[in-house]
Amino acid sequence: MNNEKCALCDQEGLLRNSHIISDTLFDGTYDQLHRIMPIHEGEETQLRFQQQGFREKLLCDKCEQKLSRWENILKKELIALDGADTNRLEIIRENGKKKVTKIAYDEFKKAILSILWRMSICKDPFFTDYKLSKEINDSLKKAILDESKVPEQTFALIVTRIKQDDEERSKIIALFNKPTQLKEYKFISFILYGFLFDVCVSCEIFDEKLHEIILKEDGSLTLNEKNLLELEITAKLDSNLNSERVRKFHNLE
């Protein structure tokens, strides 16, 4: 039997057919035929339905289990951030923003970083435009493998809940393949499970205003909530969002 090397721990062994993005984060976005349609910055004609999710032989059993444990915790936190589980987190409303505490920082952040890393290193042609530099990939891998917490300033993470039709969580899945510049920082962004995740990939965040809104090691977060069309980054999706096919699939007015 051919053994291969696990992309994360580098040990040789049997590899699992690993998720690039866990199916659990697509809940609520499938159509009746159990299809999803992630949108992106590219041409509308490149969009395709996805029925099997994204999988690739990537990780050994041990690493696979580690990542799926983080993803399960991430999902539970997102359900709570969405307001559907009121027991898990402490959320106080303040000037249109939600001040959240008690987030499982380590698992939440590592789950997000591991998704970014997998999109970058996988061979699936869908993610061809999502390749980060070797230097960033190596730092992501190191952060994921490290037993200790990733410092809040390293790969700083901003989380925004995306609304659609008043208060409801948006069903859009969007992958942005080009970095966004915010002040002197470079962010890679994606929308999954109705939340926009902006991960800083340029350097540590020392800007005070930005530092206020990133996920903190003590499990606190200022959660912004915006309509999809209010977001600046949405302009990058114009070619997709103006398409009849996309509007119909996502029930956009």
What are the residues binding Zn ion (CB under 5 A)? 6, 8-9, 60, 63
User: Nearest approach, Cβ of 60 to Zn ion (angstroms)?
Assistant: 3
15 vs 132 by CB, closer to Zn ion: 15
User: Nearest approach, Cβ of 68 to Zn ion (angstroms)?
Assistant: 13
Closest CA to 11 of 70, 57, 59: 59
57 vs 163 by CB, closer to Zn ion: 57
4 vs 43 by CB, closer to Zn ion: 4
User: Nearest approach, Cβ of 64 to Zn ion (angstroms)?
Assistant: 8
Other CB atoms closer than 10 Å to residue 249's CB: what's the count? 19
User: Nearest approach, Cβ of 13 to Zn ion (angstroms)?
Assistant: 7
Q: How many CA atoms lie within 13 A of 239 on its CB side?
A: 10
16 vs 40 by CB, closer to Zn ion: 16
Other CB atoms closer than 10 Å to residue 221's CB: what's the count? 25
Q: Are strands 12-13 and 39-40 parallel, antiparallel or unpaired?
A: unpaired
Cβ 86 vs Cβ 76: under 8 Å: no
CA 47 – CA 175 distance, rounded (Å): 11
